[in-house]
Amino acid sequence: MAAIDTIRYTRAELLGVGPSGRQGYVRRLVRTVRSLASRIDSQLDRRRSRLALLEMTDDQLKDIGISRCEAHREGLRRFWD
């Protein structure tokens, strides 16, 4: 059993966490940061696609069924909107 406990504590120390129970806190923090990064990434993707609408020609917009006015309105929206 002592070898298993040693391995567990060594792994925790590598994560910057001691055997004092902070491991749960670190996991929650990592999960929160990843979630925030994922949200920002999706918002930036949405912004890029809206900017791409502004660069499309009238024929391209017609192919996807959007008028120039609709594309302009969508392209000017804020990225968090």
Alpha-carbon span 5 to 19, nearest angstrom = 10
> Do 68 and 57 contact (CB within 8 A), yes or no?
no
Q: What is the pLDDT of residue 49?
A: 92
Q: Which two structure tokens, joined as six digits, stand for 40?
A: 């920002």
Q: What is the pLDDT of residue 1?
A: 52
Instruction: List per-residue pLDDT tens for the chain, 81 residues long.
Output: 555 655 665 555 555 555 555 778 889 999 999 999 999 999 999 999 999 999 999 999 999 999 999 999 999 888 777
Q: What is the pLDDT of residue 71?
A: 94
